[in-house]
Structures are given as structure tokens and as C-alpha cells.
Amino acid sequence: MEEIKLTPIGSVRNNIKEARFGNFADEISEIIIDEKFAEALKGLDDYSHVIIVYWMDKVNKHVITHRPQGNPEVPIVGIFACRCPERPNPVAITTVQLLGIEGNKVKVKGLDILDGTPVIDIKPYWPQYDKVDGSIPDWVNKLEF
């Protein structure tokens, strides 16, 4: 299998210094984009929300099964059945509210990422494309957000 190479486009700046579960909805963060990619932000501020793709670089182990958030009220599931960080390749995505762009800084609300985390990509949230109708397991409603 061929090696995959990813180049971060920037990194996160916020007050989240240690990993935690939940309580990210009101967190304000900035993504500082490498100056060479700043022009790629043109037009992004026309959207209300963006999808952030990032590398959880501080995760140093992986597991196959996991109890999400360590919550005893939910079942043990496979790591791919939850959004927990201990993945074989700690790549993650999250959708956040876009508050604004100033130069090479993207200000967002609700980002569930540690300070300094490398960002791989930013994508606009298109409701017609990204929204799906479907179901989630009942135990997900017992988790914090």
C-alpha cells in the first residue's frame, strides 16, 4: 500500500490545553492558516458553517473497542462506531459555526480540538450535500457535546 502524505494548512489556537469530553459548543477558536494558503480562504466567509479536518497529533495509542466518553450508560462499541480519538489513524472531522475571517485567521465556534492541533483541511458546509436523513443509535443521546 502506498504511503499517504498530508501537509497541515495551519493549526488551532484556543484555550483548550487538555483533552476532555464534551462542553465544546460555546468554545471560540482560531485556525491560523499558513500564509501561503491564505488566498484559499476567499469566499469561505459567505458560509455560516465549515467542516474542519484535523490530525489528533497528541493521541499516542489506538484501540479497537471503546466505551464512548467512558460513560457507563453506553455500550462498548468498535472504535469506528464512535468519534473517540484513539483511532488507528487519528484523523477527525467536525462541523463548526464560522464567525469570521481576518487575513489568515479563521474564527469559529464549537471546535472540539486541543490548542496547537494541526488542521489538514477546511471545507464549506453545504446543507444540500452534507445533510443526511438517517438514524443514530439511542446510546449516542447519552453523550456530552
Length of the chain, in residues: 145
Q: How far from the centroid of its chain's Cα atoms is residue 59's Cα?
A: 14
The pLDDT-based confidence of 22 (bands split at 50, 70, 90) is low
Cα distance between residue 17 and residue 37, in whole Å: 26
* Domains defined for the chain, CATH in brackets: 10-59+89-126 (2.40.30.70)
For 98-133, write each residue's pLDDT tens digit: 999 999 999 999 998 889 999 999 999 998 888 888
Q: Who's near 143: CB < 8 A, 6+ residues apart?
A: 21, 22, 68, 69, 71, 74
The pLDDT-based confidence of 138 (bands split at 50, 70, 90) is confident
Cβ-contact 32, 13 below 8 angstroms: yes
What DSSP line would sit under 22-82, residue for residue? S--TT-EEEEEE-GGGGGGGTTGGGSSEEEEEEE-TT-----SEE-GGG-TTS--EEGGGS
Q: Which three cell numbers stand for residue 122?
A: 477546511
Percent of the chain whose pLDDT exceeds 70: 97
The model's pTM is 0.86
Task: Find the mean pLDDT for residues 71-100.
Answer: 91
| C-alpha closest to that of 142 among 70, 81, 71 | 71
For 57-82, write each residue's pLDDT tens digit: 988 889 999 898 888 999 999 999 98
Selected residue with higher pLDDT from 86 and 10: 10
